[in-house]
Structure 1
Amino acid sequence: MTSEHPALLPPPPPPPCPALAWPAAPLWPSKKKLYQAIAEGRSAVEGDHEEARLVLVKRESSFRKHLQWVLFNKYVPSLIQDGPQCGLVALWMAAHLLQSPTELSIERIVKVAKERGYTAQGEIFSAHDMALLAEEMCGCRAERLTGGMSGPNFGLILKHLASGKPVLIPYDEDFNHEPCQRRGHRAHWAVASGILLALKEGCLNKEEFQPDPVVPWLLLPGDSPACPMEGIQDAFVLAKQGKSLHYQLLGLEKLAQSNAQLKEMDPKRAADGSVYILPQGGMEVGLAGQVVLLH
């Protein structure tokens, strides 16, 4: 016996989903480095002592108050590097302590460095080449120190920074921009423009210095004080490099150790298919234990 009711039909299939409208381009440029994205839309803190004060206050507990702390610094502007240009960017920053900022562009430095055969991609693996480039670009006298940042060179570096002149320093840069020891695999250039010294009580002629108006335990130089060389218990350099808009306060001893062990180019970089200019004898001959003072 057949049913009088019609057969039930299955429900119709759901309508197709509307096509998703994907953006024509990614929201973040794929080639932009993290440090470039962080710096975008920001500006550096200007002034000889303003940013140093912020660093000191933030790390105040690590500075021993029974010592006398003296800060020398001359402000240099910030510039974020585009590719492996850390040395050329450091030179551009340093140039602002030697001449009018409007007279030299990073594009001009890169162009001349390539024409002279000092670089292929923007890299500088020779302190000797850096000194030659600095003299040509800045019209200054460049003094290349060898044998490390300790011993006799320690005093030369301190006096140079205290006089308001820059020092170009190669070192291995860690992820937080601090010096590390990776045999040169993270070789990087920074420009030091200042020095923070910790002195034993009584080793300073206080008539040549004045208390900082914001950080009362910090002393600033007067018109033309001599750099104190007696009773130094600790030393830091105030430096900038091309991956940050901010000053870094780097322990001089740790920086010297990093500078001394620059032995070889990162094997990954050496095998990336790009051409790089290395001096005869490699990075160890070109960078290890060397800095460049610009007069």
Structure 2
Amino acid sequence: MISSCSSLEPPVPAITRSSQGPIIPPPPQPPHLLDLAFPPSSSSHQAPVPPPPPPPPLAARPAPPHVFGLEKSQLLKEALEKASPAPRSREDVKRLLKLHKDRFRSDLQWILFCADLPSLIQEGPQCGLVALWMAGTLLVPPSGIPLERLIKMATERGYTAQGEMFSVADMGRLAEEVLGCRAELLQGGLGGPNRDRVLQHLVAGHPLLIPYDEDFNHEPCQRKGHKAHWAVSTGVLLGVHGVPSPGYIEDLELPGLFHPVPGMSRQPPSLPEEGSLGAVYLLSKQGKSWHYQLWDYNQVRDSNLQLTDFSPARAADGREYVVPAGGLQAGLCGQALLLRP
């Protein structure tokens, strides 16, 4: 609740004359204060003194903030879906680098490849469709396809009942139909030969949709699929021993952090080897936070590889869910979606 108050000017004290002594004619009036502060020029001795300006009007009370009720989520969606993507990725990355500087290897230089996305907080089990909506703002600019349309199409095609998406293949078919993009189903996990494909895809500025198990802080964990969730990655932070030139510029605030120069041809950096620990971080967003997060690539890979069991809590909540034949093992485990215009 925002309260406001108006302050009134203190009343000017009344001037009283002393009644002591005999009544004598009043003395000559002293000069006006404005005359003392700003003496008139010789050519304007007889100019009349302008009257003082009237006191300013009382400040109007600010309108009370609009308190959102049940319509909050719908209004939030409409506002965000009409807004252009906010440039927040670099700021969030630099905030994370400062906050968790001990987590990042000091023997490496870092190159950040990123694309900016708007945020949208999910309602219920809509994390996959919200991630697809965010990715769609890059594929169908400036604001993508309305989330309601994604939900409607997914429901009509039989991909979802509550907004949940337990099939990467279904997500790919939905993306191609609604967004008109190219969706490549990645199978076999994010490691091995798929690793370089994923990193080159992100360096090129294309979005990646990843199912994983979500921990309490939204980071990847391993719960056998009981906390299955979706995220969209639109960038990567690479730790390298040498930054190729030209085409990259060092950050003014954080020495050792480099950004590709927009519009300038550049040599792609050498990708860190798969055995290099702590050298690759995915820049990711998901539907339960406004901010980007940096996730260690190996942590995401391992979480994605163990999505095998449907959540017992969901199985007992009495709601209907669309789960593919073979369960999460067949629909999510070791899979991701590469999206291109």
Quote the residue 2:325 is aligned against: 280
Which string of whole-angstrom CA distances, capped at 9 and with x for unpartnered residues, describes residues 82-131 of structure 1?
A: 11000000000000111123451111110100000000000000000000
Task: State the SS of the aligned residue for 1:49.
Answer: helix
Whether 1:247 and 2:318 are equivalent positions in the alignment is no
Taking the TM superposition and a 5 Å limit, the aligned residue runs for 1:20-169 are 46-169=87-210
- State how far apart, in whole Å, the 1-side matches of 2:144 and 2:247 are: 34
Q: Is the 8 A contact 2:238 2:272 kept in 1?
A: no
Letter in 2 for 1:176: N
Distance change in 2, residues 1:165/1:221 (3 Å)? same
- State how far apart, in whole Å, the 2-side matches of 1:72 and 1:61 are: 21
Quote the residue 1:181 is aligned against: 222
Q: Is the 8 A contact 1:45 1:51 kept in 2?
A: no
Q: Is the 8 A contact 1:123 1:277 kept in 2?
A: yes
- State how far apart, in whole Å, the 2-side matches of 1:238 and 1:29 are: 33
Quote the residue 1:195 is aligned against: 236
- State how far apart, in whole Å, the 2-side matches of 1:224 and 1:278 are: 45
Q: CA deviation at 1:207?
A: 2.2
Letter in 2 for 1:218: L
Root mean square deviation of aligned Cα: 2.3
Q: CA deviation at 1:46?
A: 3.0
Task: State the SS of the aligned residue for 2:158.
Answer: coil
Task: State the SS of the aligned residue for 1:52.
Answer: helix
- State how far apart, in whole Å, the 1-side matches of 2:143 and 2:273 are: 41
Distance change in 2, residues 1:103/1:72 (3 Å)? closer
Which of 248, 261, 265 is equivalent to 1:209? 248
Q: Is the 8 A contact 1:88 1:124 kept in 2?
A: yes
Letter in 1 for 2:284: A
Whether 1:229 and 2:268 are equivalent positions in the alignment is no
Quote the residue 1:260 is aligned against: 305
Which string of whole-angstrom CA distances, capped at 9 and with x for unpartnered residues, describes residues 235-283 of structure 1?
A: 1101000000010111110110000000011011011111100111111
- State how far apart, in whole Å, the 2-side matches of 1:45 and 1:294 are: 21
Give the number of equivalent residue pairs.
Answer: 258
- State how far apart, in whole Å, the 2-side matches of 1:246 and 1:81 are: 14
Letter in 1 for 2:313: K
Distance change in 2, residues 1:99/1:45 (3 Å)? closer
Q: TM-score, normalised by structure 1?
A: 0.82
Q: TM-score, normalised by structure 2?
A: 0.71
Which string of whole-angstrom CA distances, capped at 9 and with x for unpartnered residues, describes residues 124-153 of structure 1?
A: 000000000111121100001000000111
Which of 231, 241, 259 is equivalent to 1:220? 259
Letter in 1 for 2:252: P
Q: Is the 8 A contact 1:143 1:294 kept in 2?
A: yes
Quote the residue 2:24 is aligned against: none
Q: Which has the higher contact order (CA 8 A, sep 6+)?
A: 1
Specify every segment of 5 or more residues in structure 1 that has no aligned partner in the other structure, as ranges. 1-26, 37-42
Letter in 1 for 2:145: L
- State how far apart, in whole Å, the 2-side matches of 1:230 and 1:243 are: 30
Specify every segment of 5 or more residues in structure 2 that has no aligned partner in the other structure, as ranges. 1-66, 77-82
Task: State the SS of the aligned residue for 2:138.
Answer: coil
Structure (1 or 2) with the larger CA radius of gyration: 2
Which string of whole-angstrom CA distances, capped at 9 and with x for unpartnered residues, describes residues 158-187 of structure 1?
A: 011111100000000001011110000000
Task: State the SS of the aligned residue for 2:150.
Answer: helix
Letter in 1 for 2:307: L
